[in-house]
Amino acid sequence: MEHVRMTHRALFVAAVLALGSTLPLAGQQPSPDPGRWEQTIQAWEAEDRTTPPPEGAIVFVGSSSIRLWTTVREDMSPLTVIHRGFGGSWMHDAVHYADRIVTSYNPRAVVLYEGDNDVGGGSVSPEDLLAGFKAFVARVHATRPQARVYFLAIKPSLLRWDNWAAMNRANMLVKAETETSDLLTYVDVATPMLGADGKPPRDLFVQDLLHMTPKGYAIWTSVVRPVLMDREGGRER
């Protein structure tokens, strides 16, 4: 019976990983080719060969909100953080490169921010974003079965406010998924960004109304750091 359960689990993981390489699903705009990031990934790999990152750290991976979080190592101190944000990435990009810029570091935990470009850009449905999240988790757990995965909620922004309903639905779908496992955590960085009028204040964003100012990142830090310190602080080497 144990063998049957393991076989079923292996088949499920294989199916989810296959799904991750084809997102979004039928009816959605084709996803951009992950190959557009190959030079960026190779540059990190070359850097890693010269200066290998520490094992057992926390990898922050995702789109431009992660890439532009230039103070994340200091903001999460004394936790050890590996910063791997590639601006403009989609969830399927994170899935595609997870073996090379996430699990290759043998992390104890992963902090993921994706969905802003996919759902926020109007190309991917909330349901497909959830499928992508499951694919990412399966990819991580295929080699790091005890790694904890933290999903940062897709942020509200003035530029993409017309798509906020879909973005928030994606958040709620992922949140529900994280409640199925102690290894998964939904971190709500979105709600604290909403003002009294229900919309995010202008001063949280730079001129493009999408990327955040230091004030926006201060909100993120005030939410993310306590969660990680509570769950990861005792595991710091």
Least confident stretch, 14-23, 144-153, 228-237: 14-23
- Residue 1's pLDDT is 44
What percentage of the chain carries pLDDT values higher than 70? 87
Residue 23 has pLDDT above 60, yes or no: no
Q: Report the chain's mean pLDDT, rounded to a whole number.
A: 90
When pLDDT is cut at 50, 70 and 90, the band that residue 24 belongs to is very low
- Residue 38's pLDDT is 96
Higher-confidence residue of 30 and 91: namely 91
Higher-confidence residue of 6 and 56: namely 56
Residue 10 has pLDDT above 90, yes or no: no
- Residue 8's pLDDT is 42
Q: For 140-199, write each residue's pLDDT tens digit.
A: 999 999 999 999 999 999 999 999 999 999 999 999 999 999 999 999 999 999 999 999
What are the structural domain ranges in the chain? 2-25+43-235
**2-25+43-235: CATH superfamily:** SGNH hydrolase (3.40.50.1110)
> What mean pLDDT do residues 6-11 have?
41
Q: Which of 145, 148, 27, 135 is closest to 90 using CA atoms?
A: 135
Residue 17 has pLDDT above 50, yes or no: no
Residue 7 has pLDDT above 60, yes or no: no
Higher-confidence residue of 10 and 114: namely 114
Residue 137 has pLDDT above 80, yes or no: yes
Least confident stretch, 30-39, 130-139, 148-157: 30-39
Q: For 98-119, write each residue's pLDDT tens digit.
A: 999 999 999 999 999 999 999 9
Enumerate long-range contacts of 138-141, CB under 8 Å, 24 or more apart: 138/12, 138/13, 138/16, 138/17, 138/20, 139/17, 139/20, 139/95, 139/98, 139/99, 139/102, 139/103, 140/98, 140/102, 140/103, 140/110, 141/13, 141/183
- Residue 87's pLDDT is 87
- Helix boundaries (H) for 51-189: 64-67, 72-75, 91-101, 126-143, 164-178
CA distances 40 to 34, 43, 60, 169, 225, Å, are 11, 5, 16, 31, 27
